[in-house]
């Protein structure tokens, strides 16, 4: 049912795209929807464009894992619209034709600006495309049970199809539908989170038994660890600060009345063998084998009895008062060479994730007494802000190979509610100067980045007038602002309801929906998928516009007719789509909102100084604009490539990174402004807009 809903939704989007595509014949229609879109539709389409994978997947995921620090992105993204509305919206509409390059070059007719602005559009679009594609890959795994790469390729192929068949008009309508649906469904999800309230043993409205990680004691004799309850050590792994043990335990298999098999876990949970396991167990019995391993689960036959051997990983946590060793169960994901996975020692279904995150105390209370039932929206946040509310957050502690399996272990840390609900867990506002600089840099890039995003800027050309541009921006602010307030509730809802996948927090929002109802999950996932489709479509239109219109038509002056220009635009869309697919696979696992933050920094560094100075400083010259765009791109991209987070991506230690912070904006944005001013002053003799105009008139 869930998959059918998902496929129907995607089919509807594609059908709409084909229908609208038949109406698009001209370049104006392809790149700017003929400038005929009503401002009300454009406003919600703005929201659809802007509420990308970063907003729904990334922000929710980040809030779910680091609390308020994720909400900083919501605040910054929304604040960026103030810059867009007050400074950029109407002047851009008056200056431009189809693209960002048109606007920046409108007073100069400079080949340098045409080239630099087109390259900038391409680079920013690709930077923004990466997180969207990562988000697409993340979505399909729990819904369809497909690998990450398949999701990325699927989105890439569908979007290339949409853009290549239709252009701006279809992307506008796709954005409109998706933007509206996303806001409505997110609101419904937040209402459900508040109605569910708080519990220290969240069982997802009875849908999923809460997994209580256990504590076990052991005796140490002659350097050997002998755990209680018939467990025995089969492997030991040591990190710099901790020792981890793999403990096996044999569990007797019983035959049920209906002929199926099952075994019983430590706390009495009965685990049935699925059909595949049963068939292989039958095979083992038929062949009279003494032992066999099936789906990562080992079976042993001894004295006529059958046993299933389960393996769990435990962390040594010191000793109790009697000197006995305390072992804490770890959350674990084990992947075999053939790709089959086990979660917490048991075979996993293809679309099953490890899910963690809960409260150990609610405003100082524990157990049944702590359960709140439905709470209001303010009470919800107030309870979480309480210092006596304790949040159990899970982090990856170790990853290694054991017995031919790749094992990743996750351990909990307890954080007080008051620390969750203010900045500091990701962005160290009380840390070193560089860490504080990283925070300022992020907030600066988010504030200034929105107004410099090419796919947002081109939307100003789809409406008929500057006033319509203004009104659609205001409607977008209302819709986006409301959604961003919802992100705080969705992220925190995921944090407390044991739905976070610690291997990839991007899915926290959709998995929160799954904790209520699989149908809601399918709807939310389909919308999120359409979110990715819509944003990627918008970005690819912007990028293809840069190639076909800015580079070929204007920079190379190829005298293309309308039809040729649209054909080249579509070919460019195909190429950019392919690049995005590859990068989406490479960057798997990174938080998509963090990646979008980097795209904002590149946009704010490369484009914003040019736009702002062009509008407000008469001595701005063409060479100044070119220099500022180039310096902005190079400095922002350069700083990102040598940042700690990228070093992790390269497989190196983040401490080796020569740049001590992740967000480049604090350096690259001022640098780009300074470059523009200095170069403009040096070249002001004949390079200003007035001088260019005089030249043109003589």
Partner 1 sequence: MLHEPAAKSEHDPAASYKTRLGVWMFMVYSVVYAGFVAINLMKPALMEKRVIFGLNLAVVYGFFLIIAALLMALVYNRFCTRQETALKISSEPRPPSHEPLPSAASKETR
Site for partner 1 in 360-389 (CB under 8 A): 378-379, 381-383, 385, 387
CB 601 within 8 A of CB 450: no
Binding mask 542-561 for partner 1 (x = CB under 8 A): -------x---xx-----x-
Of residues 27, 327, 596, 626, which one binds partner 1 by CB under 8 A? 27
471 binds partner 1 (CB under 8 A): yes
- The smaller minimum CB distance to partner 1, of residues 247 and 421, is found at 421
Continuous segment of H or E residues that includes residue 262: strand 261-264
| Token pair for 597 | 């933050």
Nearest approach, Cβ of residue 474 and partner 1 (Å):
4
Nearest approach, Cβ of residue 551 and partner 1 (Å):
13
Nearest approach, Cβ of residue 177 and partner 1 (Å):
22
467 binds partner 1 (CB under 8 A): yes
Nearest approach, Cβ of residue 365 and partner 1 (Å):
16
104 binds partner 1 (CB under 8 A): no
CB 98 within 8 A of CB 549: yes
Q: How far is the C-alpha of 641 from the C-alpha of 585, rounded, in Å?
A: 18
225 binds partner 1 (CB under 8 A): no
Of residues 43, 93, 294, 622, which one binds partner 1 by CB under 8 A? 93
Which residues are CB-neighbours of 693 under 8 A, at least 6 positions away?
107
- Of 683, 186, 204, 262, the residue nearest 484 (C-alpha): 186
670 binds partner 1 (CB under 8 A): no
- Of 549, 581, 573, 578, the residue nearest 17 (C-alpha): 573
Interacting span for partner 1 (CB under 8 A) from 158-166, 419-427, 522-530, 679-687: 419-427
Beta strands in 339-496 (DSSP E): 341-343, 346-347, 358-361, 390-402, 405-416
Nearest approach, Cβ of residue 427 and partner 1 (Å):
8
Of residues 219, 282, 465, 653, which one binds partner 1 by CB under 8 A? 465
- The smaller minimum CB distance to partner 1, of residues 32 and 177, is found at 32
32 binds partner 1 (CB under 8 A): yes
Rg of the Cα atoms in the chain: 28
Looking at the chain, the number of H-run helices and the number of E-run strands are 28, 17
Binding mask 598-627 for partner 1 (x = CB under 8 A): -----------------xx-----------
Residue 638: count other Cβ atoms within 10 Å of its Cβ: 14
489 binds partner 1 (CB under 8 A): no
DSSP result, 112-181: HHHHHHHHHHHHHHHHHHHHHHHHHHHHHHHHH---HHHHHHHHHHHHHHHHHHT-HHHHHHHHHHHHHH
User: Would residue 291 be called left, alpha or beta, if left means φ above 0 and alpha means ψ between -120 and 50 degrees?
Assistant: beta
Interacting span for partner 1 (CB under 8 A) from 14-22, 32-40, 41-49, 289-297: 32-40
DSSP result, 135-154: HHHHHHHHHH---HHHHHHH
- The smaller minimum CB distance to partner 1, of residues 40 and 562, is found at 562
Nearest approach, Cβ of residue 22 and partner 1 (Å):
20
473 binds partner 1 (CB under 8 A): yes
Q: How far is the C-alpha of 127 from the C-alpha of 637, rounded, in Å?
A: 10
Interacting span for partner 1 (CB under 8 A) from 476-484, 510-518, 645-653, 657-665: 476-484
Residue 222: count other Cβ atoms within 10 Å of its Cβ: 5
Nearest approach, Cβ of residue 138 and partner 1 (Å):
26
CB 408 within 8 A of CB 330: no
- The smaller minimum CB distance to partner 1, of residues 457 and 511, is found at 457
- Taking every pair of Cα atoms in the chain, the longest distance, rounded to a whole number of angstroms, is 104
- The smaller minimum CB distance to partner 1, of residues 22 and 422, is found at 422
90 binds partner 1 (CB under 8 A): yes
Binding mask 559-598 for partner 1 (x = CB under 8 A): -x-x--x---------------------------------
263 binds partner 1 (CB under 8 A): no
Nearest approach, Cβ of residue 76 and partner 1 (Å):
9
Q: How far is the C-alpha of 11 from the C-alpha of 13, rounded, in Å?
A: 5
Residue 145 CA neighbour count, 13 Å, CB half: 10
The site that binds partner 1 (CB under 8 A) totals a number of residues, namely: 73
Of residues 429, 567, 578, 659, which one binds partner 1 by CB under 8 A? 429
Nearest approach, Cβ of residue 638 and partner 1 (Å):
25
In sequence order, what are the beta bridge partners of 333? 343, 408
464 binds partner 1 (CB under 8 A): yes
Of residues 46, 263, 314, 447, which one binds partner 1 by CB under 8 A? 447
421 binds partner 1 (CB under 8 A): yes
Q: How far is the C-alpha of 365 from the C-alpha of 383, rounded, in Å?
A: 11
Q: In this structure, what are the phi and psi dihedrals at residue 500, rounded to the nearest 5 degrees?
A: -80, 130
198 binds partner 1 (CB under 8 A): no
Nearest approach, Cβ of residue 281 and partner 1 (Å):
54
Residue 33: count other Cβ atoms within 10 Å of its Cβ: 29
Of residues 44, 85, 134, 457, which one binds partner 1 by CB under 8 A? 85
- The smaller minimum CB distance to partner 1, of residues 6 and 483, is found at 483
- The smaller minimum CB distance to partner 1, of residues 294 and 612, is found at 612
Q: How far is the C-alpha of 356 from the C-alpha of 341, rounded, in Å?
A: 17
Per CB under 8 A, contacts with partner 1 among 502-531 are: none
Interacting span for partner 1 (CB under 8 A) from 2-10, 177-185, 307-315, 473-481: 473-481
388-398 burial: b if 16+ Cβ within 10 Å, else e: ebbbbbbeebb
- The smaller minimum CB distance to partner 1, of residues 117 and 133, is found at 117
Which residues are CB-neighbours of 184 under 8 A, at least 6 positions away?
none
Q: How far is the C-alpha of 490 from the C-alpha of 63, rounded, in Å?
A: 8
């Amino acid at each position: 049912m869930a998959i059918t809903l998902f496929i129907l939704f995607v089919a509807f989007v594609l059908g709409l795209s084909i229908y609208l595509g038949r109406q698009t014949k001209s370049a104006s229609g392809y790149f700017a929807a003929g400038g005929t879109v009503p401002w009300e539709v454009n406003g919600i389409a703005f929201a659809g464009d802007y509420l990308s994978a970063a907003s729904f997947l990334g922000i929710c995921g980040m809030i779910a894992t680091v609390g308020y620090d994720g909400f900083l992105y919501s605040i910054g993204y929304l604040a960026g619209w103030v810059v867009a509305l007050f400074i950029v919206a109407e002047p851009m509409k008056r200056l431009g034709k189809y693209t960002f390059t048109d606007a920046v070059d409108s007073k100069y007719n400079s080949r340098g600006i045409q080239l630099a602005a087109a390259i900038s559009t391409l680079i920013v679009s690709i930077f923004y495309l990466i997180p969207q594609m990562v988000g697409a890959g993340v979505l399909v795994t729990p819904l369809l049970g497909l690998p990450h790469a398949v999701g990325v390729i699927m989105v890439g192929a569908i979007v290339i199809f949409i853009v290549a068949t239709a252009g701006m008009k279809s992307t506008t309508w796709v954005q409109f539908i998706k933007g509206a649906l996303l806001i409505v469904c997110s609101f419904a999800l937040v209402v459900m989170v508040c109605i569910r309230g708080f519990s220290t043993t969240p069982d997802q409205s009875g849908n999923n038994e809460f997994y209580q990680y256990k504590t076990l004691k052991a005796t140490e004799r002659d350097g050997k660890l002998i755990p209680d309850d018939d467990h025995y050590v089969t492997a030991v792994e040591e990190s710099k600060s901790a020792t981890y043990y793999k403990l096996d335990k044999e569990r007797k298999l019983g035959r049920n009345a209906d002929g199926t098999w099952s075994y019983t876990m430590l706390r009495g949970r009965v685990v049935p063998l699925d059909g595949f396991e049963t068939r292989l167990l039958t095979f083992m019995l038929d062949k009279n084998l003494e032992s066999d391993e099936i789906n990562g689960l080992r079976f042993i036959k001894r004295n006529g009895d059958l046993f299933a051997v389960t393996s769990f990983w435990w962390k040594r946590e010191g000793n109790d008062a009697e000197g006995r060793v305390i072992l804490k169960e770890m959350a674990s994901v084990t992947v075999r060479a053939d790709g089959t996975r086990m979660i917490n020692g048991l075979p996993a279904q293809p679309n099953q994730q490890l899910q963690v995150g809960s409260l150990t105390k609610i405003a100082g209370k524990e157990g049944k007494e702590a359960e709140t039932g439905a709470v209001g929206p303010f009470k919800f946040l107030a309870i979480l802000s309480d210092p006596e509310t304790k949040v159990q957050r899970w982090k990856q502690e170790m990853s290694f190979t054991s017995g031919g399996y790749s094992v990743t272990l996750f351990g909990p840390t307890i954080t007080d509610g008051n620390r969750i609900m203010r900045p500091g867990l990701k962005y160290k506002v009380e840390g070193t100067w560089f860490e504080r600089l990283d925070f300022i840099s992020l907030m600066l890039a988010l504030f200034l980045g929105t107004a410099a995003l090419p796919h947002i800027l081109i939307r100003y050309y789809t409406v008929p007038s500057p006033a319509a541009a203004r009104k659609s921006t205001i409607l977008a602010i209302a819709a986006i602002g409301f959604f961003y307030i919802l992100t705080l509730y969705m992220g925190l809802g995921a944090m407390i309801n044991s739905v976070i996948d610690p291997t990839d927090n991007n899915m926290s929002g959709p998995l929160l929906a799954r904790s209520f109802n699989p149908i809601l999950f399918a709807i939310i996932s389909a919308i999120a998928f359409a979110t990715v489709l819509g944003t990627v479509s918008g970005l690819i239109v912007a990028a293809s516009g840069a190639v076909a219109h800015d580079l070929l038509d204007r920079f190379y002056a190829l005298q293309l007719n309308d039809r040729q220009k649209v054909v080249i635009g579509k070919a460019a869309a195909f190429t950019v789509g392919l690049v995005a697919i590859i990068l989406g696979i490479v960057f798997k696992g990174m938080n998509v909102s963090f990646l979008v933050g980097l795209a904002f920094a590149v946009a704010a560094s490369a484009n914003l100084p040019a736009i702002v100075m062009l509008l407000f400083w008469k001595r701005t010259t063409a060479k100044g604009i070119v220099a500022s765009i180039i310096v902005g791109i190079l400095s922002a991209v350069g700083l990102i490539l040598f940042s700690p987070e990228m070093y992790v991506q390269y497989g190196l230690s983040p401490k080796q990174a020569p740049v001590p912070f992740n967000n480049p904006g604090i350096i690259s944005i001022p640098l780009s402004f300074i470059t523009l001013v200095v170069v403009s002053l040096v070249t002001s003799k004949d390079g200003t807009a007035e001088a260019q105009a005089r030249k043109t008139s003589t």
